[in-house]
Amino acid sequence: MLSRGSRLFGTDGVRGVTNSALTSEFITRLAGAIGYYFGKSSKLLIGRDARAGSYFIHHIVVGTLLSEGVRVFDAGLVPTPALQYYIKEKGFDGGVMITASHNPPEYSGLKVILGDGIEAPRKVEEEIERYFHEGRSHRPPWIELGYDVKRVDDVLDFYITSVVNMVDKELIRASGFKVVVDGANNVGSLTTPKMLRELGAKVMTLNTEISHIPNRPPEPTPESLVQLSNAVKSSNSHIGVAHDGDADRAIFVDDIGRVIPGDRSAVLLCKHILTNRKDNTPRRIITAVSSSTIVEDVLKGYGVEVIWTKVGSVVIAREMVKLGAMAGFEENGGFMYPPHQYVRDGAMALALMLEFLAKEKVRLSDAVNGLPHRYLIKTKIPLKSREKLSELYDVLKEKFYSDRIISVDGVKVIGKSYWFLVRPSGTEPVLRIFVESSSKVEAEKLLNLLKSILDQVLK
């Protein structure tokens, strides 16, 4: 058991290796704390992805919530944004999504969702953690435990219909798109191909068989999407899309097979929202510090304010609700469109991208070529301890004192022709490093310098 005061929630939910960190005892105690937070007679909708641990975790969560006097509704296998949309639209008090999103297959996890369909904010996470460490439980008497689990079978169709109705269906249908979908052998395979067919697209699928052993890593990266890239080129498709494990992300592959970073595709979607959809009030976007400065370079020309936040969709979504924004996003492919919902939604991002291409009558490759060209390197190193992170940050700030520095999450340094970010992962014991420059030589030189500094300080 974790020591009192230890954090359970990371960047987005509670995650760990199945049957190692996430044991049945741990899940029981956590589900009890979640049930205690929502309270007796609350209505919670439970969904899961297809990971190896999700099935047994699902049963433990359901049973424990029932023992807390919670009214439990079971959505089964669903993408996270589908569960969130249903919770918001159907008046549930909240829900639990059992998923580890993009983490390796051996991981599983839980996301706690409030009645507005958004993941619980940090203060709620801390409250649940306190109940966990204190072992809180309502333990209602037997006579109050008469609730049965109710199956909810229309979550997927309800979600698909909502996405399709959000865009110009006839315009997209008339464009005759050919799309390749990589479903990561998980729940996005249940919704995205069907949504595309309802939009009149010709669909080719990869990795859409539901399995707890995926054919590729759950995180959609250039390294893991070689098959998708080749399929788009060989089939002469207009676009490819890849999801992570729970389908709240969408990474696009253009018509010439290039994997497009999520912040680049997000900039295109923001331009579409501004110029074509006219959903531009307020003219503000919120994004994590891990996104490229291309965001500012392009969108400030449209009079859009850019707010940098900590990494994590929870932070971005809650900041959007607080300040108001036309969109929010992360460089990992998570895009949030408030008229639909304030959460990452891979299918919604794809529908908007097709609408953009149809409206502009442009190929995705040409649209991407119109953005500033930068060379990006993303890497990570093991992080055994966080004790020296503050010292590391001080060294970086001193070394790059003449540049613009953003310290909301790790250290982001913005120079004239480059930027970099050094921050600890919220889901894995690693230190993430992002380096971007106008030239490959400068980016690699800067990365080597950073590695040298990290090696000196962290040792």
Count of beta carbons in the 10 Å neighbourhood of residue 283: 13
Separation of alpha carbons 2 and 321, rounded Å: 33
Given 42, 54, 101, 265, which residue is catalytic? 101
Q: What is the residue whose two structure tokens read 């993941």?
A: 119
CA distances from 454 to 58, 282, 292, 394, 397 (A): 40, 40, 22, 12, 13
Residue 108 backbone phi and psi in degrees, to 5: -140, 180
Separation of alpha carbons 406 and 295, rounded Å: 15
Of 245, 264, 272, 243, nearest to 337 by C-alpha is 272
- Any idea how long the chain is? 459
Give the list of residues 6+ apart from residue 384 with CB closer than 8 angstroms, or none. Answer: 429
Of 398, 252, 268, 438, nearest to 332 by C-alpha is 252
Separation of alpha carbons 409 and 319, rounded Å: 15
Record the tokens describing residue 321, joined without a space.
């609700």
Separation of alpha carbons 242 and 136, rounded Å: 41
Active site residue 101: yes
Separation of alpha carbons 260 and 194, rounded Å: 23
Q: What is the residue whose two structure tokens read 């899309």?
A: 241
Amino acid at 392: L
Separation of alpha carbons 93 and 148, rounded Å: 17
Separation of alpha carbons 125 and 21, rounded Å: 18
Separation of alpha carbons 393 and 445, rounded Å: 20
Asked if omega into 282 is within 30° of 0 (cis), the reply is: yes
Separation of alpha carbons 113 and 91, rounded Å: 12
Separation of alpha carbons 334 and 247, rounded Å: 9
Q: What is the residue whose two structure tokens read 């969709």?
A: 313
Amino acid at 58: H
Amino acid at 423: R
Look at residue 43 and give its three-state secondary structure: strand
Separation of alpha carbons 214 and 55, rounded Å: 16
Active site residues: 101
